[in-house]
């Protein structure tokens, strides 16, 4: 079992994607199946960017064994008021500033769900927790 | 397969090559540089970094000509960009012929055919994207570092192979020894005559480095002439600034130089190149026209292509494209996932003992590589100079 933790700062656009890059390079070292690797990379990147744009910061944790890979994205709020709406493709609350940077096309959460084998989301005002998992069978 | 050769006598053991290698193929062991031949992507960064000429890439020599009855030179489209006018292209072809060839074949009609095939693929392509395969360095880089993008690569159609296959078919009846010599504008094409990419056999007999021929070309230039009718599409394939197809301009992403290529591939892995249908990638600056074995500079070459495109009207070769039976090398990592996770954990345990400076003083390009060696029992923590220094002080 391998466990890793990464901190994500609030509105830290300068470092956007760095954690996903580290996770991607770790998974390449493990030598996962390329198609699976790509699904994980895309989902992880979307989720990391979501945290940077929308949250007050938080933490990404990774846990992996020979059967599955679990990624948890936990932030410190402010929470998603309407999760159902947020899951609708094209719907976005990204700020003007975020859109200027090319973020906020409204495809983040639906895309993550599409990539992952398991997708769970819980959100309250004190924070959002997205859990995604992938089957790691050969 | 690496074409980089190492000369121990010239090596100052500065380890610059070790640090610039993008795929960590170079290590220093027993006071000498070792190149992992199967990992090397022939990008030429180490050769550029070596100020002592300790590293070189060599092709065949013209001495090989004497073993053949009929000698044929294949000239890449990129070389046309070394000439400033079409008139000069004809002089260049005449000069190359004068070096001992019976025939000089312009590859631009074949490159043009490849470009046309690509135009069709780009027009039909929807997201995500296709990735070009004309640059052997990029192909190897993707194999080594970006395996998840392999499935997006265009089949490796190579104009030199298409042309040499045709020459072979046409000359087989002659019952003579026909030698096909490919002039190479970049280091990475030197090994392709013996180890063609994505294909098991090659009809090319020898690969020559253009830069090695330059002294003789420059001496003879102006005394010979050979008529040439270059294909504009072929020139466009070789010059990244010019490669485009009507109606799809914004769907094409061009990146040249290894840093830019790697950035594009990193983003492609995250699915972040939205709206792009085709990635045109080359290791050499400005595409093949900036080939690292050409004597001119890439900016001038691009300008020459712009000029040539105003006048050249040559037609493309008629070629049938068949999908190669040999697909890209299978990744032969056959340890179980459990073993690989354990191995990673073992390496990480060693990595935590190392300073993480990636200084290369131990002879390995990164602390991670050193940790892998320690975990495998091929090195010890005492090989780390930084750590030794800290323990003492």
- Chain B positions touching A34 (Cβ under 8 A) are 147-151, 331
Would you tell me which residues 323-352 of chain B have a C-beta closer than 8 angstroms to some C-beta of chain A? Answer: 331, 333, 336-338, 340-341, 344-345
pLDDT score recorded for residue B141: 96
Where in the sequence is the domain holding A68, given as residue range(s)? 2-135
- Chain B positions touching A38 (Cβ under 8 A) are 148, 269, 271
B247 and B364 share one domain:
no
B49 and B103 share one domain:
no
Question: What residues are paired with A61 via a beta bridge?
Answer: A5, A72
Domain count within chain A: 1
A64-68, A83-87, B67-71, B79-83: least confidently modelled range: A83-87
What is the C-alpha separation between A31 and B149, in angstroms, rounded? 14
Question: What residues are paired with B56 via a beta bridge?
Answer: B5
Where in the sequence is the domain holding B127, given as residue range(s)? 62-311
Domain count within chain B: 3
Establish if A24 touches chain B: CB-CB under 8 angstroms: yes
Q: Which of B145, B270, B338 has its CB closest to that of A17? A: B270
What is the count of residue pairs from A and B with beta carbons less than 8 Å apart?
54
Q: From the candidates A34, A35, A45, A50, which should be mutated to test the interface with B, based on the most B CB atoms within 10 A?
A: A34
Residue identified by tokens 């945290």 is A51
Establish if B299 touches chain A: CB-CB under 8 angstroms: no
What is the C-alpha separation between B139 and B252, in angstroms, rounded? 18
pLDDT score recorded for residue B279: 96
Query: Is the predicted pLDDT of residue A18 greater than 60, yes or no?
Result: yes
Q: Is residue B317 part of a domain?
A: no
pLDDT score recorded for residue B270: 92
Establish if A39 touches chain B: CB-CB under 8 angstroms: no
Q: Is residue B320 part of a domain?
A: no
Instruction: Determine the average pLDDT of the residues in A75-79.
Output: 92
Instruction: Determine the average pLDDT of the residues in A7-31.
Output: 91
Q: How far is B347 from chain A (nearest CA, A)?
A: 11
Longest dimension (CA), chain B: 77
Residue ranges for chain B with pLDDT beneath 50: 326-328, 330-331
- Chain B positions touching A28 (Cβ under 8 A) are 145, 147
B360 and B242 share one domain:
no
Pairing of strands B103-106, B130-131: unpaired
| Among candidate residues B78, B80, B76, the one with its CA nearest the CA of residue B91 | B80
Q: Which of A24, A29, A45 has its CB closest to that of B344? A: A29
Which CATH number fits the domain that encloses residue B375? 1.10.15.40
User: Which residue in chain B has the smallest CA separation from A1?
Assistant: B341
C-beta atoms of A65 and B341 within 8 A: yes
Question: How many of the other CB atoms lie within 10 Å of CB of B121?
Answer: 15
pLDDT score recorded for residue A23: 95
Which CATH number fits the domain that encloses residue B13? 3.30.70.20
Which CATH number fits the domain that encloses residue A51? 3.30.565.10
Establish if A17 touches chain B: CB-CB under 8 angstroms: yes
Q: Is residue B321 part of a domain?
A: no
B28-40 pLDDT per residue, tens: 988 899 999 889 9
Q: Which of B41, B57, B73 is the last residue of a domain?
A: B57
| Among candidate residues B325, B381, B387, B319, the one with its CA nearest the CA of residue B349 | B381
In the structure encoding, which two tokens stand for residue B131, read together?
Answer: 């990735």
Would you tell me which residues 82-101 of chain A have a C-beta closer than 8 angstroms to some C-beta of chain B? Answer: none
B77 and B51 share one domain:
no
Q: Is residue B344 part of a domain?
A: yes
C-beta atoms of A138 and B331 within 8 A: no
B193 and B255 share one domain:
yes
Report the residue count for chain B.
393
Q: Which residues contact B338 (CB under 8 A, 6 or more apart)?
A: A66
pLDDT score recorded for residue B393: 65
Q: Which residues contact B137 (CB under 8 A, 6 or more apart)?
A: B41, B42, B43, B186, B188, B258, B282, B283
Question: What residues are paired with B281 via a beta bridge?
Answer: B255
Helix (H, G, I), strand (E, B) or coil at B147: helix
Establish if B63 touches chain A: CB-CB under 8 angstroms: no
User: Which residue in chain B has the smallest CA separation from A37?
Assistant: B148
Query: Is the predicted pLDDT of residue A138 greater than 70, yes or no?
Result: no
B128 and B204 share one domain:
yes
B157 and B259 share one domain:
yes
H/E run at residue A113: helix A108-115
Q: Which of B266, B269, B344 has its CB closest to that of A38? A: B269
pLDDT score recorded for residue B331: 47
B12 and B105 share one domain:
no
What is the CB-side half-sphere exposure of residue A94 using CA atoms within 13 A?
23
| Among candidate residues B275, B379, B324, the one with its CA nearest the CA of residue B30 | B379
C-beta atoms of A38 and B345 within 8 A: no
Residue identified by tokens 């265009």 is B154
With DSSP H G I counted as helix, E B as strand and the rest as coil, what are the percentages for chain B, rounded to 5? 45, 10, 40
Instruction: Determine the average pLDDT of the residues in A96-120.
Output: 80
What is the C-alpha separation between B304 and A69, in angstroms, rounded? 53
Q: Which of B277, B311, B345 is the last residue of a domain?
A: B311
What is the C-alpha separation between B43 and B21, in angstroms, rounded? 9
B304 and B373 share one domain:
no
């Amino acid at each position: 079992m391998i466990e890793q933790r990464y901190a994500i700062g609030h509105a830290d656009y300068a470092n956007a994607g760095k954690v996903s890059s580290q996770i991607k390079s770790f998974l390449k070292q493990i030598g996962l199946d390329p198609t699976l690797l790509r699904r994980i990379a895309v989902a992880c990147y979307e989720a990391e960017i979501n945290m940077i744009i929308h949250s007050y910061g938080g933490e990404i944790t990774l846990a992996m064994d020979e059967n599955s890979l679990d990624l948890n994205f936990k932030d410190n709020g402010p929470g998603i008021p309407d999760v159902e709406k947020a899951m609708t493709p094209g719907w976005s609350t990204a700020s003007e500033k975020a859109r200027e940077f090319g973020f906020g096309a409204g495809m983040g959460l639906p895309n993550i769900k599409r990539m992952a084998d398991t997708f769970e989301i819980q959100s309250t005002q004190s924070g959002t927790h997205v859990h995604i998992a992938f089957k790691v069978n050969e | 397969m690496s074409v980089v050769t190492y000369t121990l006598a010239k090596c100052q053991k500065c380890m610059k090559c070790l640090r610039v290698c993008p795929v960590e193929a170079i290590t220093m062991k027993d006071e000498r540089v070792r190149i992992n031949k199967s990992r090397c992507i022939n990008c030429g960064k180490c050769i550029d970094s070596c100020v002592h000429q300790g590293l070189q890439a060599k092709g065949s020599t013209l001495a090989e000509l004497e073993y053949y009855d009929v000698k044929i030179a294949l000239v890449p489209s990129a070389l046309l960009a070394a000439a400033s006018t079409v008139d000069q292209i004809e002089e260049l072809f005449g000069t190359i012929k004068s070096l001992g060839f019976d025939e000089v074949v312009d590859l631009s009609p074949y490159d043009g055919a490849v470009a046309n095939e690509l135009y069709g693929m780009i027009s039909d392509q929807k997201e995500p994207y296709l990735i070009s395969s004309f640059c052997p360095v990029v192909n190897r880089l993707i194999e080594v570092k970006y395996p998840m993008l392999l499935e997006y690569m265009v089949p490796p159609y190579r104009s030199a192979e298409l042309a040499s296959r045709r020459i072979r078919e046409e000359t087989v009846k002659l019952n003579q020894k026909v030698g096909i010599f490919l002039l190479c504008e970049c280091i990475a094409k030197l090994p392709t005559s013996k180890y063609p990419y994505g294909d098991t056999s090659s009809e090319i007999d020898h690969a020559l480095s253009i830069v090695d021929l330059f002294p003789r070309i420059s001496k003879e230039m102006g005394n010979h002439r050979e008529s040439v009718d270059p294909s504009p599409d072929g020139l466009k394939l070789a010059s990244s600034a010019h490669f485009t197809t009507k109606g799809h301009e914004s769907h094409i992403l061009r990146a040249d130089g290894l840093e830019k290529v790697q950035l594009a591939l990193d983003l492609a892995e995250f699915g972040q190149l939205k709206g792009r249908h085709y990635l045109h990638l080359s290791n050499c600056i400005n595409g093949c026209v900036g080939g690292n074995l050409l004597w001119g500079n890439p900016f001038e070459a691009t300008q020459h292509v712009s000029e040539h495109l105003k006048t050249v009207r040559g037609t493309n070769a008629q070629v049938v494209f068949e999908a190669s039976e040999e697909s890209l090398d299978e990744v032969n990592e056959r340890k179980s996932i459990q073993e690989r996770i354990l191995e990673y954990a073992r390496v990480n345990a060693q990595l935590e003992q190392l300073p993480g400076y990636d200084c290369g003083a131990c002879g390995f390009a990164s602390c991670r590589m050193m940790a892998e060696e320690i975990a495998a029992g091929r090195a010890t923590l005492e090989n780390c100079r930084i750590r030794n220094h800290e323990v003492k002080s």
